[in-house]
Chain A
Amino acid sequence: MDTSTTALNILDDNGNVWGCTLMFGTDDGPHFIIGGGWKRLVMARRLRQGSRLVLGAPMAGKNTTLYLRVIRN
């Protein structure tokens, strides 16, 4: 993923796309925080604590879309 971008699309297993924000942080090691449309996705897919997800990416590089599969919501 690209540390300089602030936008990320998530394509879920229903084929819906969710425009999310992306923040790159370096506290406690490098990490990305996905926000924005993520919250809408959580509500729309009825995700809650303990829900299991798989995030996928096709290749190493600048992925502007991540792919999501909900195993159990």
Chain B
Amino acid sequence: MVVLPSMFGHDFGDQIGRYVKLVDSNYNEFDVLVERNNGLIYLTTGWHALKDFYGVSLGSWVTMVFVGASKFGIQLKDRFGRKVSTPKFTPSMRFQLEKIVTPFHNFDVLPSPFVHDEFNFEFSYEKRLTGDEHAGGFLVSFRSSLLLTFWFL
């Protein structure tokens, strides 16, 4: 989660909608949910996707350039100021949000980062990826334990 500077929010806040799109130099795109509280603009759900994608850790920097229409160009640097390389995919990667389930925006609640609802893990299954599932792009789940019964009901 990130909070945009209040000065930026004051000047451009009205040009930012419910979602923003972050685009890097290789046209990879991240949809991020916008939440507002006490005059501040928070980027919440979707922001964390940058961490794995660029392989960055604590102390890294993200430069965001507002290009209008809820869109930002982004560039990353590590904590020593070195440019973080931008992964290239064809077609470029799109990180999308499930926009329908976005909760009603309550202005009184301080925005918080996205977390899974524990209820969604009532039936859960832990798995270590095998070579095929990684290389071939498939995840195979066999009915091998009681935990898995939900697959087939």
Q: Give me the interface of A with B, judged by CB distance under 8 Å.
A: 1, 3, 9, 11, 13-18, 28-35, 38-40, 42-61, 63, 65, 67, 69-71, 73
Residues of chain B within 8 A (CB-CB) of A34 are 138-141
Nearest CB of A to B55, in Å: 7
Nearest CB of B to A21, in Å: 10
Residues of chain B within 8 A (CB-CB) of A55 are 124-127, 141
Residues of chain B within 8 A (CB-CB) of A52 are 126-129
Residues of chain B within 8 A (CB-CB) of A17 are 96-98
CA distance A18 to B93 in the complex (A): 11
Residues of chain B within 8 A (CB-CB) of A54 are 121, 124-127
Partner of A47, one of B89, B114, B123, B129: B129
In chain B, what residue has the closest Cβ to A1? B151
Which of B40-73 touch A at CB < 8 Å? 45-49, 52-53, 55
Question: Is B126 in contact with A16, judged by CB distance below 8 angstroms?
Answer: no
Q: Give me the interface of B with A, judged by CB distance under 8 Å.
A: 31, 33, 45-49, 52-53, 55, 89, 93, 95-98, 114-117, 119-131, 133-135, 137-143, 149-153
Residues of chain B within 8 A (CB-CB) of A67 are 116, 120-121
Question: Is B45 in contact with A15, judged by CB distance below 8 angstroms?
Answer: yes
Residues of chain A within 8 A (CB-CB) of B149 are 60
Question: Is A35 in contact with B137, judged by CB distance below 8 angstroms?
Answer: yes
CA distance A49 to B153 in the complex (A): 29
Residues of chain B within 8 A (CB-CB) of A18 are 96
Question: Is B129 in contact with A60, judged by CB distance below 8 angstroms?
Answer: no
Nearest CB of A to B116, in Å: 6
Nearest CB of A to B54, in Å: 10
CA distance A25 to B130 in the complex (A): 19
Starting from the known contacts A49-B129, A49-B134, A59-B123, 12 additional A-B residue pairs (CB-CB under 8 Å) come to A14-B95, A15-B48, A16-B46, A16-B95, A35-B138, A38-B139, A45-B53, A48-B134, A54-B124, A58-B121, A61-B153, A67-B116
Question: Is A31 in contact with B142, judged by CB distance below 8 angstroms?
Answer: yes
Partner of A44, one of B93, B115, B130, B152: B93
Most buried by B among A11, A16, A18, A60: A16
